[in-house]
Chain A
Amino acid sequence: MTKLNAKIPSGPLSEKWSNYKNSLRLVNPANKKRIDVIVIGTGLSGASASSTLGEMGYNVKTFCYQDTPRRAHSVAAQGGINAAKNYKNDGDSVFRLFYDMIKGGDFRAREANVYRAAEVSNDVIDHYVALGVPFARDYSGYIDNRSFGGVQVSRTFYAKGQTGQQCVLGTYSSLLRQVNKGTVKLYARRDVLDIVIVNGKARGVITRNLVTGEIERHSAHAVVLATGGYGTVYYLSTLAVNSNASAAWAAYKKGAFFGNPSFVQIHPTSIPVLNDFQSKLTLMSESLRNDGRVWVPKQKGDKRIPKDIPEEERDYYLERRYPAFGNLVPRDVASRAAKERCDAGYGVGPTGLSVYLDFKDAINKQGQKAIENKYGNLFDMYEKISGENPYKTPMRIYPAGHYTMGGLWVDYNLMTTVPGLYAIGESNFSDHGANRLGAGSLMQCSCDGFFILPYTISDYLADDIRTGKIPVDTPEFDDAEKSIKEKIQRILSVNGKDTPLDYHKRLGKIMWDYCGMVRNEEGLKKAIGLLSDLKVDFWNNIKVAGKDNELNLELEKALRVADFIELAKLMCIDALNRKESCGAHFREESQTENGEARRQDEAYSFVAAWEHKGDDVEPELHKELLVFENVELKERSYK
C-alpha cells in the first residue's frame, strides 16, 4: 500500500510549483544533445512537449499513427481553452480556476496538480498567440473570452467552433520548426505496440510501421506517453474513430499503474444513433444549452411530430428537476436525466433513444438571425448529418462517451510508476478528478507539454548525461519484439468468423449498458463475466484479413480491440470497487432520495491506482489518499 508516492512538494499551495521548479536539476546544453527522448502522440500534449524539448536541445523522436502529426484527435475540440487571465475583470483568478476544477471534478483530483495547471494556464495563452493561433477578438483588437461549461466567469479562449484545430496547428508548426532544425525526428504512421524496460527504467518502444508492417526498435533515455483518451471503448463515442488505449495499456502491463479507469465523461448533447452502421457520434456543442430547451412528451411512446405536441403535454424535465440551473446543469447531470427519461419510455425518435433540444422559444424571442449568428455552423452540421432543419423542428440529442478522466497514474512530475515513463494530456489521470469542466482539457494538455513536463523530465534526465546511447540489440528489446511478433501471428492465425468491428460493437454495448452513465453492483459483475467471455471468444473466433508485412488496417483494429476488451474489464473492476457516486461515476446504490449522486468522502476520498499482476489475474488496488488543505468539501447541488 505504500508504493505510491505522489511527490507533492511541501509549502503553501501557491508557492509549491515555483519553489519546486527552483529545486529541480538542470541539464546543460552540451549534455542535452546526448540525451534522447521518445514522445508518443502529437495532439496538444505530445506536440507541445516534443517541440519544447527540441527547443531545449534534446534529441526528440516523436510518433503518431496518423499520416501526419497535425491530424491528432485534439483537432476535434470545438468549444475552447481555459485560462485565468481575468481579461473580463469578472473576478477570475488562478485560485478560482483551481477551485472550479476541483469542485467540478467532485473533489477527486489532486490539489497541487490542479493548482499548478491553473497557474501556468496564462503562459499557454501567451504562447499560442505568439505562435499565431487566431483566437476570437473584439473590434478593439483585444482577445475575446466567453463563459463555458456552466461556470460564472468568462475565461474561455476560443477560435470559432474549432479551438482544438487552431491550437493543434500552432503546436504542429512549432513541432515542424524543430524538425527543420533537426532536434525532432518524426515517425508518422507508426503504432507503438510496447514499451521496453531496461533495468527498471523505460528505455524504448517497439513500433509497427503501418505502411510496411515492419516491427521496429527505438531507444531513448525516457519515454513520454501523450496518447489521448480511451472513450472509444464504447465503440460509438465523440472521439476520432482510431483513438485507442493500446500504448497506455502496454505501459500498464509493464508496471505503470492505471488511475481511476472507470471515470468517463458522457457528454449530454451528441447527435443520436441513426442506424446500425453508425461509426461515430458527432458532438453538438454544449453552448447550445444556453438557448435550447430540453424536453420529451409527457405521454409515454407519443409518436406525434414535435410541433403537434402542445406545450402542456411537454415535459421540460431539466427545468422541472433543477429549477435553479435548468437546462444548464453540468454534463453528467444532464446525461443521466436524459437516460432516465428514455429508459422510462419517454424517449423520442425512431429508436426512442433521444430527447428534444428545442430552439423555438429562443427563435421567437431573439429572432432567427440571432440564433443563426450564434450557432449557424452547428445547425448546418446537424442538418448535414440528420437531414432535419433545426430552425424548423427541434434537434434530437442523446448522451455519448466523450472524455476519460481516468488514465495512467502519475506523480507530481507527471511520471508513472515506471521510472522514466511519463504520461501527459488525456492519457494521464491527473487534473480532472471524477468529471472534467468544459475547456479544461486543451488547457491541461498544453500546460503539461509546454510548461510542466520539460522541467520535471530534465531533473530525471540529469542522471543520464553519461549513460550514452541506449543500445537496441539487447535481450530486453529482443524479448519485447518477440512477444509483439507472436501476438501478431496469433491474432492472424485464428482465422475465425467475426471481424474486429463485430467485436468492437459487442464490447461497446456491454460497456454502454453496464459501465456507462449509471452503474450498479449487479450490472458490473455481469459485465465482468461478459467481458471475460468476450475475450475468450475473441481469441478463438477473430478474423483478420490480410497479412502482417503490409499496410493492414484490419490488423491495426484487431490489436486495438484486443486491448480494449482487457481495459474494459479493469474499468468495471474499478467501478465496482468505488461504491460511492462522484462526478460522472454514478452508482445507483449511492444516491439521495431525489435520485442525485451521493459522494462518500470518508470511504472514497482517494485515487484508485491499479497494478497489473498478470493476465487474467486480479489487479491490485493501491490508494492515493486525497488531502484537501485549501478547499472545503461540499456537496454539488443544482436544484
Chain B
Amino acid sequence: MNIKLKIWRQKNAQAKGKFENYSLEDVSPEMGFLEMLDYLNQKLIKSGGEPVAYEHDCREGICGSCGMYINGRPHGPEAKTTTCELRMRSFKDGDTITIEPFRSRMFPIIKDLLIDRTAFEKILIAGGFISADTGSAPEANSILVCKKHADKAFDMATCIGCGACVAACKNSSAMLFVSAKINQYALLPQGKIEAPERVKKMVAKMDELGFGSCSNTYACEAECPKGISVSAIAKMNREFLHAKLIAED
C-alpha cells in the first residue's frame, strides 16, 4: 500500500520543530509500525536526508521505550497496543498518518519523536521501593500472600513506564503511573509496612515536579497499553488519606 506521513521534526530541545511531509510506497500490511519508520529512514539517509529519531528497544511491548502520538493518540489506534506492536494492517492504502512525540510539558522533546521521561524516575526514587537489603530476606514462603491480592499486585506491576497516560491527560497527570506502583506494594504484606510513607513521598515528589492533578476524564486508562485501570487512582487516594490520618494520630 501507499501512505503519506506527516512527521514532527525537531533538531534538538532548543530548536523550533515543524511537521514535514513524506510519502512511502510499497508498505506491506504485516510490517510493524516501527519497521515502516525504519523503511522511511533508510530512504531518507540514502537520499542525503536526516533520519527520524525515535526510541525503541524490545519491539514486543514490554520495555516501554517506544511511544508517540499517532493520529493524535498515544500509541495509535489499537487498544492495549504499544507503538512497536502496532502493524500497518491497522491502516489503509492512501491514508495520511500524523506522527508526533508525546506532548506533555513533563516530557521535554530531545529530538524529533524522542522525549525525556526522567520525571517518572524521580518519583520512583523518592519512594517507589520496599526497603529490603540483600541478604536480609526471610524464607520466601514465610510471607504468604492471598492469591487475589497477589494477582492484583501483578496487574498493577505490569506498567511499563511508557508515559502514555501522562501524554493522554490534558493536565499531564501522572496519577495512573504512580497509583499502579503504590497499589502493587500496598497490596503485598511485605510492602504494607512502608505504605503510608511511600505514598506521601511519591505524591509530594509528583506535585513538586509539576505533574497536574487528576480530573477524572479517564483518558489515561483508555490509552494505557497495559490496561491499568483508573480504579488504581481511587485506591491510591484512599491510601494517601489514610497516611495523612495516621500521621495526625
Contacting pair B89 A387 (CB below 8 A):
yes
Q: How far is the CB of B188 from chain A (nearest CB, A)?
A: 5
Which B residues touch A130, using CB under 8 A?
A: 130, 132, 136-138, 143, 190
Contacting pair A126 B138 (CB below 8 A):
yes
Contact of B130 among A142, A165, A173 (CB under 8 A): A173
Which B residues touch A140, using CB under 8 A?
A: 144, 147
Q: Is B60 positioned at the interface, with any CB of A under 8 Å from its CB?
A: yes
Q: Is B236 positioned at the interface, with any CB of A under 8 Å from its CB?
A: no
Within 8 A of A (CB), among B164-190: 184-185, 188, 190
Q: Which residue of A lies closest to B127 (CB)?
A: A180
Q: Is B161 positioned at the interface, with any CB of A under 8 Å from its CB?
A: yes
Give the CA-CA distance A160 to B226 in the complex, in Å: 14
Contacting pair B63 A75 (CB below 8 A):
yes
Q: Is B21 positioned at the interface, with any CB of A under 8 Å from its CB?
A: no
Q: Which residue of B lies closest to A212 (CB)?
A: B12
Give the CA-CA distance A386 to B85 in the complex, in Å: 11
Contact of B116 among A67, A141, A554 (CB under 8 A): A67
Q: Which residue of B lies closest to A144 (CB)?
A: B147
Q: Is B126 positioned at the interface, with any CB of A under 8 Å from its CB?
A: yes
Contacting pair B117 A67 (CB below 8 A):
yes
Which A residues touch B121, using CB under 8 A?
A: 68, 176
Which B residues touch A127, using CB under 8 A?
A: 132, 134-135, 137
Which B residues touch A51, using CB under 8 A?
A: 134
Contacting pair B60 A76 (CB below 8 A):
yes
Give the CA-CA distance A131 to B143 in the complex, in Å: 12
Within 8 A of A (CB), among B100-144: 110-111, 114, 116-118, 120-121, 124-141, 143-144
Give the CA-CA distance A381 to B58 in the complex, in Å: 14
Q: Is B222 positioned at the interface, with any CB of A under 8 Å from its CB?
A: no
Contacting pair A67 B118 (CB below 8 A):
yes
Contacting pair B125 A275 (CB below 8 A):
no
| Chain B residues with a Cβ closer than 8 Å to the other chain, count | 78
Q: Which residue of A lies closest to B201 (CB)?
A: A180
Contact of B63 among A85, A141, A240, A386 (CB under 8 A): A240
Give the CA-CA distance A55 to B30 in the complex, in Å: 48
Within 8 A of B (CB), among A143-200: 143, 159-160, 162, 164-166, 169, 173-174, 176-177, 179-180, 188
Number of A-B contacts (CB under 8 A): 206
Give the CA-CA distance A139 to B144 in the complex, in Å: 10
* Interface window among B31-39, B69-77, B239-247: B31-39
Within 8 A of B (CB), among A227-267: 240-242
A282 and B60 in contact (CB under 8 A), knowing A132-B184, A177-B129? yes
Q: Is A211 positioned at the interface, with any CB of B under 8 Å from its CB?
A: yes
Q: Which residue of B lies closest to A166 (CB)?
A: B157
Contacting pair A454 B128 (CB below 8 A):
no
Contacting pair A550 B12 (CB below 8 A):
yes
Q: How far is the CB of A489 from chain B (nearest CB, A)?
A: 19
Q: Which interface residue of B63, B135, B150, B154 has the most chain A CB atoms within 10 A?
A: B63
Which B residues touch A211, using CB under 8 A?
A: 110
Which A residues touch B191, using CB under 8 A?
A: 132
Q: How far is the CB of B235 from chain A (nearest CB, A)?
A: 16
Contacting pair B154 A76 (CB below 8 A):
no
Give the CA-CA distance A96 to B139 in the complex, in Å: 20
Contacting pair B125 A71 (CB below 8 A):
no
Which B residues touch A166, using CB under 8 A?
A: 154, 157
A142 and B118 in contact (CB under 8 A), knowing A70-B161, A130-B136, A282-B60? no
Give the CA-CA distance A448 to B157 in the complex, in Å: 25
Give the CA-CA distance A513 to B140 in the complex, in Å: 46
Q: Is B51 positioned at the interface, with any CB of A under 8 Å from its CB?
A: yes
Q: Is B232 positioned at the interface, with any CB of A under 8 Å from its CB?
A: no
Give the CA-CA distance A568 to B206 in the complex, in Å: 47
Contact of A275 among B11, B30, B81 (CB under 8 A): B30
Contacting pair A134 B138 (CB below 8 A):
no
Which A residues touch B39, using CB under 8 A?
A: 277
Give the CA-CA distance A122 to B50 in the complex, in Å: 51
Contact of A551 among B53, B81, B136, B146 (CB under 8 A): B53
Which A residues touch B118, using CB under 8 A?
A: 67-68, 188
Q: Is A278 positioned at the interface, with any CB of B under 8 Å from its CB?
A: yes
Q: How far is the CB of B16 from chain A (nearest CB, A)?
A: 16
Contact of B59 among A123, A165, A279 (CB under 8 A): A279
- Per-residue B-contact encoding for A508-533, CB less than 8 Å = 1, 0 else: 00000000000000000000000000
Contacting pair B59 A280 (CB below 8 A):
yes
Q: Is B87 positioned at the interface, with any CB of A under 8 Å from its CB?
A: yes
Contacting pair B50 A546 (CB below 8 A):
yes
Contacting pair B190 A141 (CB below 8 A):
no
Q: Is B145 positioned at the interface, with any CB of A under 8 Å from its CB?
A: yes
Which A residues touch B150, using CB under 8 A?
A: 134-137, 141
Within 8 A of B (CB), among A94-150: 122-123, 125-132, 134-143
Q: How far is the CB of A486 from chain B (nearest CB, A)?
A: 23
Q: How far is the CB of A104 from chain B (nearest CB, A)?
A: 24
Give the CA-CA distance A277 to B203 in the complex, in Å: 44
Give the CA-CA distance A384 to B90 in the complex, in Å: 11
Give the CA-CA distance A566 to B132 in the complex, in Å: 43
Contacting pair B87 A126 (CB below 8 A):
no
Contacting pair B62 A165 (CB below 8 A):
yes
Q: Is A73 positioned at the interface, with any CB of B under 8 Å from its CB?
A: yes
Q: Which residue of B lies closest to A239 (CB)?
A: B58
Contacting pair A275 B28 (CB below 8 A):
yes
Contacting pair A241 B126 (CB below 8 A):
no
Contact of A67 among B60, B65, B81 (CB under 8 A): B65
Give the CA-CA distance A135 to B184 in the complex, in Å: 12
Q: Can you list 18 A-B contacts with CB-CB less than 8 angstroms, sorted by A residue number?
A: A55-B134, A66-B57, A67-B65, A76-B60, A127-B132, A137-B147, A141-B146, A159-B154, A160-B154, A162-B158, A169-B157, A279-B35, A279-B59, A387-B30, A543-B46, A550-B12, A551-B53, A553-B53
List residues of A whose CB falls within 8 A of some B CB.
48, 51-52, 55, 66-68, 70-71, 73, 75-76, 85, 87, 122-123, 125-132, 134-143, 159-160, 162, 164-166, 169, 173-174, 176-177, 179-180, 188, 211, 240-242, 274-275, 277-280, 282, 381, 384-387, 450-451, 454, 497, 499, 501-502, 543, 545-546, 550-551, 553-554
Closest 3 CB pairs of A and B: A141-B144, A130-B137, A173-B129
